[in-house]
Structure 1
Amino acid sequence: MTTLADGFCFGEGPRWFEGLLWFSDMLGEAVHTVTLQGAMTTLPLAGHAPSGLGFRPDGSLLVVSTENRQVLRYDGETVTTIADLSDCVPANLGDMVVDGIGRAYVGSQAFNGGVIVRIDPDDSPTIVAEDLDFPNGMVITPDGATLIVAESTARRLTAFSIGPDGSLSDRRAFADGLDGPPDGIALDAEGGVWAAMTLAHQFERIIHGGTVTDRIDMGERTAIACTLGGPEGRTLFMLTSADAYPQRLVGTKLSRLDAVMVDVPAAGMP
């Protein structure tokens, strides 16, 4: 395991894009990039608590502003607000996944009664799933047909079928009764889901039905989020923190980004 970066407050939403690992520092009000050699850049986002990230086909970065309940767009020069969801969601926003045509799926993290909102390429929002227990990390399969979401307080991964219009249907369990609340997740080419198991202090690879095939123990550190990337897609990037509850970490710089090689490469979105 290699430590790529530390000295930030609360890392979330890692994404591999164009040779860089991108992630949010939610409490530090910034988005960072890190190279495989550990060189870091920073996009300040004062007044926002960024979380979920995703890239549209034109290369623009979408950023979830959690407490403002907005989605931002960064085109490489300017940050603009493309959607204000304040009037249509029951709780602060969290993670996000963007599909191959630029539709963004954003979770509103109510402990019960959480929703997923789809933001179409024209930036119009639609609620596409309801009654979720703290919807968190999300992935989309390579064929664009299935979305998997981590329901943290329910300790399960839930799958939906994605319709041609981006609607979600056929809700079903992908894995239930997990070892801990799942946070950020990543999908590999064999259909395995890497999940940050916060209170279990582990990253686990889970296959359909709930069997855990691999575990990475983080000791006393809290597993927050992960993604697959790197030149071969076999680098698992892991964000950890000193505590599972962000409010206890305000003003600290105790989060860390580690990387480890795994056997099965990345697949799907992100």
Structure 2
Amino acid sequence: MSELRTLVSGIAMGESPRWHAGRLWFCDWGAGQIVRVESDGAATVVAEVGDMPLCIDWLPDGRLLAVSSQKGMLLRVGDDGTLERHAALGAGQWNEIAVDRRGNVFVNDIGFEFPGGEFRPGRICVLTPGADGPREVAGGLAFPNGMVVRGDTLIVAESYAGRLTAFDIAPDGALENQRVFAAVDGSAPDGICLDVDNDDAAVWFADVPNQRCVRVAEGGEILSTVDADRGCFSCALGDETLYITANRWSDQGVGDGVVFAATL
């Protein structure tokens, strides 16, 4: 693996990197923007959301969705950057999103105000095609964070439990057979992505306090790590490259946001 290089700098707070249609996309929470990045690092603002767009993913038909936590809304982003309401999520500390092949949209709620709030368990809700709103399909999670779909399995990072948790996805979006995908004691897994081969039983997770990204096999074996000079908040794989949104975190907030890239 090559050394980390800085692909994009000057980010207020980068999160939710995604590889889609041959390009990297990410959310800049601090600037309220969704951004697309070319291979040379040229960045284009795709949409001005304006209120901390937390996470993005695409429906099977190619439409882009974004979580607006402050509004409790799931937004649909047009090719021209226009925003439309896709669904009302209701009250909650909405965080990450993942869409499966049937168009089921999973959104998690961390369960408490962060930072500074008193901890309460979080949950995962699903919005199925044609439904008026989301329904809860899993609860009791210790700060549910990054999520990814692999086939008919949903994997979620529990940041406060030091583990990745897996569920089987039923056709109606219900989550069944909850189990530990990988225990990663001493880590606080945040954003996650599938390994290069989507059928491979391995996941990359970003780890803010340990300033690294980790490739872990199902069962918990650590396969490789990528170290950085600041907290790693999330990661995405594309074109044989690991992309990492990273930032320095302190009690005063964040600064020095970047997207790192490392060729695998």
Unaligned ranges ≥5, structure 2: 112-118
Q: Aligned-pair distance for 1:155?
A: 1.2
Q: State whether residues 94 and 106 of structure 1, in contact with CA within 8 Å, keep that contact through their aligned partners in structure 2.
A: yes
Instruction: Confirm or deny that 1:76 pairs with 2:86.
Output: no
Q: Show the counterpart of 1:267.
A: none
1:183 aligns with 190
Q: When the two structures are superposed, what TM-score results if normalisation uses the length of structure 2?
A: 0.89
Counting only pairs closer than 5 Å after superposition, residues 50-89 of structure 1 correspond to structure 2 as: 50-77=53-80, 78-87=82-91
* Residue type at the aligned position of 1:215: T
1:169 aligns with one of 168, 176, 184 = 176
Conserved? CA contact 1:178–1:210, under 8 Å: no
CA shift for structure 1 position 179: 2.8
Match of 2:212 in 1: 202
User: Contact (CA 8 Å) 1:63, 1:73: kept in 2 or not?
Assistant: yes
Q: Distance in 2 between matches of 1:199 and 1:44?
A: 30
Contact 1:199 1:244 in 2 (8 A): no
Counterpart among 113, 122, 125 of residue 117 in structure 1: 125
- Percent identity, please: 37
The residue identity in structure 2 corresponding to 1:76 is D
CA distance in 1, matches of 2:9, 2:218: 33
- Is the contact made by 1:198 and 1:244 (CA closer than 8 Å) also made in structure 2? no
Q: Which has the higher strand share?
A: 2
| TM-score relative to the length of structure 1 | 0.87
User: For residues 67 and 160 of structure 2, what CA distance do their matches in structure 1 show?
Assistant: 21
Matched, 1:255 2:261: no
How far the C-alpha of 1:226 sits from its partner, in A, is 0.3
SS of the counterpart of 1:23?
A: strand
Q: 2:166 aligns with which of 159, 164, 189?
A: 159
The ranges of structure 1 where at least 4 consecutive aligned residues each deviate by more than 3 angstroms after the TM superposition are none
Deviations 1:56-102 (A, max 9, x none): 12211100112222111112132112122224xxx311111111232
Contact 1:59–1:75 (8 Å) recurs in 2: no
- Which letter maps to 1:169? E
Q: Which amino acid aligns with 1:54?
A: D
The separation in 1 between residues aligned to 2:20 and 2:152, in whole angstroms, is: 22
1:40 is matched with 43
Q: Deviations over 1:17-54 (max 9, x none)?
A: 11211100112100100011111101343442111110
The residue type paired with residue 222 of structure 2 is V
Instruction: Write out per-residue CA displacement over residues 163-219 of structure 1, whole angstroms, 9 at most, x where no aligned residue.
Output: 121110111111124332110001122211100011111100011121111011113
Q: Is the CA contact 1:135–1:151 (under 8 Å) kept in the aligned structure 2? A: yes
Q: How many residues align?
A: 249
CA distance in structure 2 between the partners assigned to 1:44 and 1:165 by the alignment:
31
Letter in 1 for 2:214: E
CA contact (8 A) 1:98 1:105 kept: yes
On the 8 A contact 1:30/1:46 being kept in 2, the answer is yes
Give distance in 1, aligned partners of 2:71 and 2:16: 17
Aligned to 1:226: 235
Partner residue, 1:192: 202
Opposite residue 192 of structure 1, the aligned amino acid is: A
Mapped to 2, the partners of 1:22 and 1:35 lie a distance apart of 9
Mapped contact 1:93–1:109 kept (Cα < 8 A): yes
Q: Which residue of 2 aligns with 1:11?
A: 14
